């Protein structure tokens, strides 16, 4: 029998945690990293944790931008992180919204936070040590998603994200 060793994970909300929430952000030119965000991801990498991004992107369902725009922005973020020696293991987003004007995205989705689907999908794809993993979010719906997925949820509202992560990892 082969066992895959598990690793803890940090699930980052995107808007309001990794970057300043500019509302329906889809362009790198409007993206502004949160203070300490790139360093925070690097700290997570160096600690041996998976680093994931889980983000609601109803702007797609609302017709403000395309899924290809979200993918391009995430690729740009990955390149920016690589420049400081950091990486995200996987980006997950949910374009759905129950009131989306675009029909194919108009639905209640278990992947849309506060649903846990993006987190649980990642935990099925990667060997995540659930009991040591946590999510960092800036909204109550992020924390609800974490609880529903069986991991800790931590609220980040302001300050330096690297300092927040460094303190959290000390307690882990």
Instruction: Spot the catalytic one: 13, 96, 138, 142.
Output: 13
Distance CA 135, CA 12 (A): 6
Check residue 57 and report its DSSP letter.
-
Q: Which residues contact 112 (CB under 8 A, 6 or more apart)?
A: 56, 58, 94, 96, 97
Residue 52 pairs in a beta bridge with 11, 90
Q: Please say if 21 is a catalytic residue.
A: no
- To the nearest 10°, report the CA torsion of 78, 49, 157, 22: 20
Q: Please say if 13 is a catalytic residue.
A: yes
Radius of gyration of the chain (CA): 15
Distance CA 99, CA 23 (A): 17
Q: State the alpha helices, DSSP H only, in the chain.
A: 37-46, 58-61, 67-82, 117-125, 140-149, 161-171
What are the catalytic residues?
A: 13, 15
């Amino acid at each position: 029998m082969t066992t895959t060793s598990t690793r803890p994970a940090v699930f980052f909300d995107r808007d309001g945690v990794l970057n300043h929430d500019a509302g329906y952000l889809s362009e790198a030119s409007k993206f502004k990293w949160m203070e300490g965000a790139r360093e925070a991801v690097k700290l997570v990498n160096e600690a041996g944790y998976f680093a994931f991004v889980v983000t609601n992107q109803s702007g797609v369902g609302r017709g403000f931008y395309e899924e290809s725009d979200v993918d391009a922005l995430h690729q740009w973020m990955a390149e920016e992180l690589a420049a400081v020696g950091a990486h995200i293991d996987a980006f997950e987003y949910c374009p759905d919204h129950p009131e989306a004007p675009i029909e194919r995205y108009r639905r209640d989705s278990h992947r849309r936070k506060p649903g846990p689907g993006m987190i649980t999908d990642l935990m099925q794809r990667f060997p995540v040590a659930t009991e040591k993993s946590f999510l960092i979010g800036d909204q109550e719906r992020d924390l609800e998603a974490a609880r529903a997925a069986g991991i800790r949820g931590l609220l980040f509202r302001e300050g330096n994200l690297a300092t927040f992560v460094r303190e959290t990892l000390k307690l882990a």
